Amino acid sequence: MSKARQSTIRASLVHLALVAYTLVALFPVFLTLVNSFKSKQAIFSQPLRLPTPSTFSLVGYETVMKQGDFLTYFQNSTIVTVVSIFLVLLFGAMAAFALAEYRFRGNTLMGLYLAIGIMIPIRLGTVALLQGMVAAGLVNTLTALILVYTAQGLPLAVFILSEFMRTVSDDLKNAGRIDGLSEYAIFFRLVLPLVRPAMATVAVFTMIPIWNDLWFPLILAPSESTKTVTLGAQLFIGQFVINWNAVLSALSLAIFPVLILYVIFSRQLIRGITSGAVK
Amino acid sequence: MNRTTLQGVLLASSVLAGVGVASAADVTLNIESWRNDDMQIWQEKIIPAFEAKHPGIKVTFSPSAPTEYNAALNAKLDAGSAGDLVACRPFDTSLQLFEKGKLEDLTGLDGMKNFSDVAKSAWTTDDGKKTFCVPMASVIHGFIYNKEAFEKVGAEVPKTVDQFFAVLDKLKADGTYIPMAMGTKDMWEAATMGYQNIGPTYWKGEEGRKALIAGTEKLTDEGWVEPYRVLAKWKPYLGDGFEAQTYPDSQNLFTLGRAAIYPAGSWEISPFSSAGLKLGAFPPPVAKDGDTCYISDHNDIAMGLNAASAHKEEAKVFLDWVASPEFASIYANALPGFFSLNSTPVEITDPLAKEFVSWRQTCKPTIRSTYQILSRGTPNLENETWAASANVINGTETPEAAAKKLQDGLDSWYKPAK
Amino acid sequence: MTDLASEQGTEAAQRRPRRWHILVFLAPAVIVYTAVMILPLAETLRQSFFNVVDGRSVFVGFSNFATLFGDPRWSADFWNALRNNFIFFLIHMAVQNPIGIALAALLSLPGLRFAAFYRTAFFLPTLLSFVIVGFIWKLILSPIWGVAPWMLDLVGLKAMFGPWLGKSGSALIVVSLVSVWQFIGIPMMLIYAALLNIPEEVIEAAEIDGITGWGQFFKIKLPLVLPAIGIISILTFVGNFNAFDLVYTMQGALAGPDKATDILGTFLYRTFFGFQLQLGDPSMGATIATIMFLIILTGVCIYLFGIQRRIRRYQF
């Protein structure tokens, strides 16, 4: 009886702590959303109030919809992000497996070589990178962005995935080898399913900087047809510095797609964990 | 490296050309600019006006945010993927691009005869021989005020510095309005709307500016320190927490009618006039009534030709049009507050813009003191001036100490020609 | 690459002389990475040994480095940025990682309801772009907009409010805390995944031995997730010494007030690309980039050779 009560108290304390941090995490986002639906005067006089019939206003969203082609921007961002994540996960997992599984001379060196990329921001290579893209005729294409983001995401993916792959049981792999599986089959059929949670984690980490990047869209693909959402929103802020309705609306709209992508990957993460693969 | 660059340029041109072949033989010109605020005006007014007269040439305006413009443009020019036409910042930023061969020499362009030497000065080599951008507009500094606020406290438009502070005192005592809307968070407001706004009156405009370049005056001289002392006195009249007040904060405070005076650049005219307030403007106050007044009338924007453009002929046609009175009139009226540099006078309709431009008759104009030559080295005088002005207003540095630091920084690399 | 694959060493290699699969596994990543990332970066680092003299790029050896450390202005800026960067890093280590671990520990409690909701909520800030984070927090902390002062007023602490982002004493701390707020999802996720990876048998065995609650967390789980904690520490280090965007969006490229929030990333950006009237200086920029690279490389090596080797790894 007292044990049950004790655990109820414990559970409520846990929830109390979690709810408290939830408030901290969500408050600024809440503020953005709420104010994007209010008139400008109301934003300033009562920033914390929910919109009332008298202060409710969609003028911000109307301005956003009139300006620029946000639907195309969303589409571009989505293509770039999804394709890059796929390539990062595939190439990254393969390389991580090679590093974690096989002993060959230069293994550590190769690991270090692939880790260099996490140490210098790729932005520093901009000029040479742009020259290369120009020479390859890739300027103002989504391919240029995908290549850059794949290269940018690989080091971290290899770093994290190889760490996780080292925890995969050798017995399992050796059993597979005895059953006559090729190394490729061992990788794709035995190891990959086991590191799915780690893959989902890497996917999420890779996604964030790609979706939110401002610099490379600006340099490599600034044309109207290849513009990404973040670049569009940034231009928007510049254009309407004092039109905060519009800025807040644009920011609110930019939150949703990335949230949806996250939810998709996090399902994958949960499925990976609960399917009992981790054994 | 050189061969790849060349290759790159060639390929870039073919890529650009490929994009251009959208409709038959039409040529598309791309404009790079930092004026993303003007997007609509270019798309709806300027470009249609040009295209109507020049079939076969299409123009697209593709701006980037002001803060990223220089970095992005340089990278694109180096790699050969920049647009055909580029908006030119005044003085050294563009001069360096010209010297590196990134911008075409436009001295021989027909339309150049429409501009005076002063108008061209910001985009001309030091020896005055070559001009590389077509001047578009200048901006003027002054103070914009809320007429209702002045009526409420019974204040007259101030002419002298003493009157200026008397008005501020009245506003502060009344308490309805924040006397002056300016913050120091973004720093450049303090330098540009503060120091460069009131300063010319003390250093006597062009006279002082040229003496500084010649080395006969120093930033520690009275004429250059005094404006800092005046700025330091602004502190009590700024809003609560002005140290963290950003530029958009200041704009919002003023357009929401919560502040009385806004130290301004004329580019604020069009966003402010849509706020539905009754606004007036006055030039920087002078020491004694009857003294000569000085204003900062700063060459701000021009347009140059990318030396690697594949459509130089068409681009020159466009630039000639930019140099025409027709463009000047469209631009100046679509963007009141950006004053044409064209020798042909432009009829301006906006009353506030008219007020600003009328000071050209009564006051002596000058350009910002830090822009020509003096910001070529490291530490960069303009950027240091931002920090110094913000520090002086915040009270974290004395006017004398700030001036000394600036002069020491300048001395470390700048040797005036004897 | 070929000699890598044909490497002979272990008995396995003797059975299969050429282990082509290693090459196949490594090739795509190595090719994309080398072509798109390493070569452009190498070109940049090369520039740190060159400078423009009379309009031509000339090899100058270490003289750019001598300028960076010898010239009083350059070196003052550099040490200021480095010091701020260390403070930035220490705040992350002291605040972000412990809170992240604690949240992950709570989330991984068996049978916790709404776990998915909490996880998404905690991770949401990490998903936001710097454009959004910078804009929102500037608004909240704005003395004019007044959300922060108003909230402090609720708990009777209004007097404590100040224009924090504009004061040199507090700006760096506030910016660091905003960064902590934004990135806390990353350590939380990694630790969470690691905690879920602990097999139930281990936990059951501990419970049979009577180790539960806090004791179980500190004695059993924490040691098991040490490798993951190692990873988040080194990721934090690398991330912090590469940081740039948040300071740039909140405080501008000059990292005000009076360079109080200047970290290596913003110092580098200003130097390399220039700012306002200051022209970009690729040579000095590349020099700073090289030094940053060395700092981070040192940190990573300490981790790889000093710490990672000592952490016991458990295979499940």
B58 residue type, one letter: K
Q: How confident is the model at residue B161 (pLDDT cuts 50, 70, 90)?
A: very high
Nearest-CB residue to B375 (from C55, C165, C277): C277
pLDDT in tens, A160-188: 888 888 878 888 889 999 999 999 999 99
Most A CBs within 10 A among C10, C128, C231, C264, hence the mutation to make, goes to: C128
Q: How far, in Å, are A222, A273, B84, B315 from residue B62 at the CA level?
A: 8, 47, 11, 15
**How many percent of chain C have pLDDT more than 90?**
31
Q: Does residue C252 sit at the B interface (CB-CB below 8 Å)?
A: yes
Separation between Cα atoms, residue C128 and residue C134, nearest integer Å: 10
Under an 8 A CB cutoff, do A116 and C38 touch? yes
Q: How confident is the model at residue A242 (pLDDT cuts 50, 70, 90)?
A: low
pLDDT on residue A277: 38
C278 residue type, one letter: Q
Separation between Cα atoms, residue B136 and residue B322, nearest integer Å: 7
- Residues linked to residue B261 through DSSP beta bridges, in sequence order: B145, B180
Alpha helices, DSSP H, located in B104-221:
117-120, 147-153, 161-174, 188, 196-203, 205-214
Nearest-CB residue to C141 (from B184, B244, B383): B244
pLDDT on residue A275: 44
Q: Does residue C282 sit at the A interface (CB-CB below 8 Å)?
A: yes
Q: Chain C closest CA to B353's CA: distance in Å?
A: 26
Q: How far, in Å, are B216, B294, C19, C206, C297 from residue B219 at the CA level?
A: 10, 18, 72, 74, 44
Q: How far, in Å, are B155, B158, B286, C184, C303 from residue B165 at the CA level?
A: 11, 9, 12, 49, 61
Domain ranges for chain C, please list them.
2-61, 71-308
Residue from C292, C150, B342 nearest A47 by CA? C150
DSSP one-letter code for B60: E
**Does B255 have pLDDT greater than 70?**
yes
Q: Which tokens is C225 given?
A: 């997730």
pLDDT in tens, A70-104: 788 889 998 999 999 999 999 999 999 999 988 88
A68 C-beta neighbours (distance < 10 Å), count: 18
Under an 8 A CB cutoff, do A241 and B68 touch? no
What residues have CB less than 8 Å from A90, skipping those under 6 apart? Answer: C28
Residue in this structure with the two tokens 């290693």, named with its chain if needed: C22
**Does A278 have pLDDT greater than 60?**
no
Distance of CA A277 to the CA centre of its chain: 24
Residue C20's closest chain A neighbor by CA? A183
Dihedral angle at the C-alpha atoms of B310, B312, B317, B323, nearest 10 degrees? 120
Contact A271, A200 (CB under 8 A): no
Positions in chain C short of pLDDT 50: 1-14
What residues have CB less than 8 Å from A248, skipping those under 6 apart? Answer: A32, A35, A36, A43, A60
Separation between Cα atoms, residue C145 and residue A44, nearest integer Å: 6
For chain A, the farthest-separated pair of C-alpha atoms sits apart, in whole angstroms, at 75
pLDDT in tens, B59-104: 999 888 787 788 888 878 877 888 999 999 998 889 989 998 999 9
Domain ranges for chain A, please list them.
2-57, 63-274
pLDDT on residue A76: 92
The mean pLDDT of chain B is 88
Fold (CATH) for C71-308: MetI-like fold (1.10.3720)
pLDDT in tens, C103-114: 999 998 888 888
Q: Chain B closest CA to C82's CA: distance in Å?
A: 19
Q: Chain B closest CA to A141's CA: distance in Å?
A: 11
Answer yes or no: CATH 3.30.420.40 is held by domain A63-274.
no
DSSP one-letter code for B174: H
Separation between Cα atoms, residue A137 and residue A151, nearest integer Å: 18
Alpha helices, DSSP H, located in A213-274:
215-220, 229-239, 244-274
Instruction: Return the H-helix or E-strand segment holding B295.
Output: strand B294-305
Nearest-CB residue to B239 (from C144, C256, C258): C144
pLDDT on residue A119: 75
Separation between Cα atoms, residue C164 and residue C142, nearest integer Å: 9
Q: Does residue C4 sit at the A interface (CB-CB below 8 Å)?
A: yes
Nearest-CB residue to B79 (from A127, A214, A242): A127
Under an 8 A CB cutoff, do C143 and B187 touch? no
Q: Which domains does chain B have, with CATH numbers?
A: 2-135+299-348 (3.40.190.10), 140-297+364-411 (3.40.190.10)
DSSP one-letter code for B55: T
pTM as predicted:
0.85
Separation between Cα atoms, residue A147 and residue C154, nearest integer Å: 51
Contact B409, C76 (CB under 8 A): no
Dihedral angle at the C-alpha atoms of B324, B325, B328, B333, nearest 10 degrees? -150
Using DSSP's 3-state secondary structure scheme, residue C156 falls into coil
Phi, then psi, of B34 in degrees rounded to 5: -100, 0
Between residues A233 and A141, the one the model is more confident about? A141
Task: Tell me how long chain A is.
Answer: 279
Using DSSP's 3-state secondary structure scheme, residue B363 falls into coil
